[in-house]
Homo-oligomer: A and B are copies of this chain.
Amino acid sequence: MRELKFIETIRQRAGNARSGVKLGIGDDAAVLEYDKSKYLLWADDMLVEGTHFTKEDDSFDVGWKAVAVNISDIAAMGGIPKYITVSLGCSGKHSGKYLSKLYDGIFAICKKFGIQVVGGDTNKSDKFIIDVSIIGFVEKKRLITRKGARIGDLILVTGPIRNGRLTHLSFTPRLQESRVLGVYKITAMIDVSDGLSMDLNRLCERSKVGAQIYASSITLVPGLSLDDALYYGESFELLFTIPPKEIEKIKNDRKISDSIFVIGSVVSSSQGVKIMTSSNENKRLKIAGFKHF
């Protein structure tokens, strides 16, 4: 995957995190020192017309999604989103009404999650571009990264897994679920933006482990194919790992018990990332997903 290699190259060039930085490139958000009890979380996601949405899509939904994907990044770290900036690329062909509805969507999701819009920038571009940068906070003891899954941990995902093809413009980020999970011992977490396969591979790579998952355990919304869940992405579910002894506690918590599903367990990195299919073949889970390049 060109993107994974590219990000790894940049991560190496950026070097180790230095003063003030707890965690740099390579997770859902950067983690900066803030005060004695909290870290500052910082993420940035860009949506481009023709890639993440079409010019026929309702701009309310485009605005909603641009903020939602960023909230999802903060949720994946266990945090609470607080502030966003919005940078646009647009041209004269994008009407005042288009922009006004875009901001209706932005303000609607910001209101729902208690987020303030504090800055922005507008630029000329034929294709519509929206880039949202988000700042949130997380209690130090609740910070969850992609690094930390250990052999023997259970692998879980929120769900039933949504159909990204249908809901990618209107999904609700799993922030509430993340905050409920935050009181338990979560060893690693990532949001599923590019399909279970790619994001599970990312989590495993950062944690230096392998994974064994079971197709029969992956719970899907009606109409969603397993292939789409694995390789299409845009479900924005949370994929996470827990020590086995945590499962009973979580399963007894009614705030979350119905929306999490055990799909497998963490194994050694030498075993790779595998899926047991419905026909009982144990296959390597190929690294493929939503293409960003």
List residues of A whose CB falls within 8 A of some B CB: 3, 6-7, 10, 13-14, 17-18, 20-21, 24-25, 29-30, 32, 34-35, 42-48, 50-52, 82-83, 85, 87-92, 96, 99, 103, 107, 116-127, 129, 131, 133, 135, 291-293
A17-B116 in contact given A92-B293, A135-B32 (Cβ < 8 Å): yes
**Complex CA–CA separation, A135 to B24 (angstroms):** 13
User: Is the beta-carbon distance between B133 and A85 smaller than 8 angstroms?
Assistant: yes
Write out the residue numbers on chain B whose beta carbons fall within 8 Å of the beta carbon of A129: 46, 48, 89, 125, 129
Write out the residue numbers on chain B whose beta carbons fall within 8 Å of the beta carbon of A48: 89, 123-125, 129
- Residue in B17, B103, B119, B120 whose beta carbon sits within 8 Å of that of A118 in the complex: B17
A30-B121 in contact given A13-B103, A46-B129, A133-B85 (Cβ < 8 Å): no
User: Is the beta-carbon distance between B30 and A131 smaller than 8 angstroms?
Assistant: no
A24-B90 in contact given A44-B131, A48-B125 (Cβ < 8 Å): no
How far apart are A143's CB and chain B's nearest CB, in angstroms? 15
User: Is the beta-carbon distance between A90 and B125 smaller than 8 angstroms?
Assistant: no
Write out the residue numbers on chain B whose beta carbons fall within 8 Å of the beta carbon of A135: 32, 42
Write out the residue numbers on chain B whose beta carbons fall within 8 Å of the beta carbon of A125: 48, 50-51, 127, 129
20 A-B residue pairings within 8 Å (CB atoms):
A6-B99, A6-B122, A7-B120, A7-B122, A13-B107, A14-B118, A21-B83, A21-B118, A25-B117, A32-B135, A42-B133, A44-B85, A44-B119, A44-B133, A45-B121, A46-B89, A46-B123, A48-B89, A125-B129, A133-B133
